[in-house]
């Protein structure tokens, strides 16, 4: 039984709490949130301890691991503190919006053997993972092209967009990690294009984009196309396609239900796609916790770690620069 304390009991934190409680090999060691009332309610629902501070959590001998689901700005600090306290760490992405801060954190925790897992949950989706597994098994031969389509069902609230660090850091970050997961090879070149088609006013104000295309290339010439939109009215569009010398593997979208209607002159499916990540990746969030628990208990490296968080952020930086300079950016320029 891995005893995990959850830091941050917002929407994502509460979902992790539920998964930990239901997990046969994990136990909820307690929760903490700066919002006392929210933490109290979550603790109460699960007969779990409510810690009064992060320090309390990190000093508690009954805590084996911390799950960091607090606001982004606190992630790097909490990672450093938890490493110092020798607690295993599961941290929601991103490590930080600033690559410099990520690098300073990296320096500080260098040499530690504390397991640190980053919450790139999509790696744990059955379909996406089956694409990776197919590639490893040779089912599509040598990989040539990857196409990642990733569109949110709707714009996040303005207040979130304003501080999110831009689409490459708040949204594409997941796709950059997926690209790395599927490509299995270092990316050397990045080019990007951005448009303001969904909410021009907001995007101009934030100097951000709502519709982007990113093209990545590896040293051996493998290509990866990522396309994002901040609003797909038909639901949460999440597809991964890998094309190679011997075939293609596609992880398709998830419809809301499997009922199809055939009527006069048309057929339809209604509602369309699953709406958002807590549903669409619900099973993946579970698998992710299992993977973390297994890694810690068996002393293995977590499947996705600090370096992955850093690399994804570097790709985001490169994409931002590509838009500004209207040229391909080599990753070694970052």
Site for a second copy in 114-173 (CB under 8 A): 126-128, 130-131, 134, 139-142, 144-145, 147, 149, 151
Min dist. Cβ of residue 25 to a second copy (A): 12
333 binds a second copy (CB under 8 A): no
243 binds a second copy (CB under 8 A): yes
SS (H, E, C) 74-120: HHHHHHHHHHHCCCEEEECCCCCCCHHHHHHHHHHHCCCCCCEEECC
Segment near a second copy (CB under 8 A), from 2-10, 57-65, 294-302, 326-334? Answer: 326-334
Backbone angles phi, psi at 246, to 5 degrees: -115, 5
Min dist. Cβ of residue 295 to a second copy (A): 23
Left, alpha or beta for 182 (phi > 0: left; psi -120 to 50: alpha)? alpha
Min dist. Cβ of residue 274 to a second copy (A): 11
Cis peptide before 194, with omega less than 30 degrees from 0? Answer: no
Min dist. Cβ of residue 77 to a second copy (A): 33
207 binds a second copy (CB under 8 A): no
**CB closer to a second copy out of 83 and 224:** 224
Min dist. Cβ of residue 59 to a second copy (A): 26
Segment near a second copy (CB under 8 A), from 116-124, 244-252, 293-301, 305-313? Answer: 244-252
Site string for a second copy, 47-76 (x = CB under 8 A): x-----------------------------
Q: Which two tokens stand for residue 103?
A: 């690098």
Backbone angles phi, psi at 143, to 5 degrees: -75, 130
**Burial category of 67 from C-beta neighbours within 10 Å (exposed 0-12, middle 13-18, buried 19 and up):** buried
246 binds a second copy (CB under 8 A): yes
Query: Can you tell me the distance from the alpha carbon of 121 to that of 287, in angstroms, rounded to the nearest whole number?
Result: 9
Footprint (CB under 8 A) of a second copy, residues 16-35: 18, 22
**Nearest Cα residue to 240 out of 138, 122, 108, 147:** 147
Site string for a second copy, 277-316 (x = CB under 8 A): ----------------------------------------
**CB closer to a second copy out of 108 and 243:** 243
**Nearest Cα residue to 240 out of 134, 312, 167:** 134
253 binds a second copy (CB under 8 A): yes
Distance set, CA 174 to CA 85, 87, 209, 246 (Å): 29, 25, 16, 27
């Amino acid at each position: 039984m891995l005893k995990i304390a959850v830091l941050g009991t917002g929407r994502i934190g509460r979902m992790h709490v539920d998964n930990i409680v239901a997990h046969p090999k994990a136990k909820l060691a307690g929760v903490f949130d700066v919002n006392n009332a929210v933490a109290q309610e979550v603790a109460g629902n699960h007969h779990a301890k409510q810690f009064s501070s992060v320090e309390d959590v990190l000093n508690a001998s009954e805590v084996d691991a911390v799950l960091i689901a607090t606001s982004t700005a606190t992630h790097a600090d909490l990672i450093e503190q938890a490493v110092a306290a020798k607690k295993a760490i599961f941290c929601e992405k991103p490590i930080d919006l600033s690559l410099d801060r990520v690098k300073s954190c990296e320096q500080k925790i260098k040499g530690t053997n504390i397991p640190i897992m980053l919450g790139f949950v999509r790696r744990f989706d059955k379909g996406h993972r089956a694409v990776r597994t197919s590639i490893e098994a040779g089912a599509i031969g040598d990989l040539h092209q990857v196409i990642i389509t990733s569109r949110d069902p709707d714009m996040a609230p303005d207040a979130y967009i304003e501080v999110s660090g831009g689409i490459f850091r708040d949204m594409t970050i997941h796709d950059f990690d997926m690209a790395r997961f599927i490509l299995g090879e270092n990316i050397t070149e990045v080019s990007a294009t951005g448009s303001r088609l969904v909410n021009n006013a907001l995007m101009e104000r934030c100097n951000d984009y709502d519709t982007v295309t990113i093209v990545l290339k590896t040293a051996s010439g493998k290509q990866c196309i990522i396309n994002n939109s901040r609003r797909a009215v038909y639901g949460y569009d999440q597809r991964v396609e890998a094309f190679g010398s011997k075939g293609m593997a596609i992880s398709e979208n998830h419809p809301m239900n499997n009922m199809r209607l055939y009527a006069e002159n048309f057929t339809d499916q209604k509602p369309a796609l699953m709406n958002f990540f807590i549903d669409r990746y619900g099973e993946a969030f579970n698998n992710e916790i299992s993977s973390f628990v297994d890694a810690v208990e068996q002393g293995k490296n977590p499947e996705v770690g600090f370096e992955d968080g850093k690399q994804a952020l570097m790709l985001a930086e490169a994409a931002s620069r590509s838009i500004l300079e209207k040229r391909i950016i080599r990753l070694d320029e970052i």
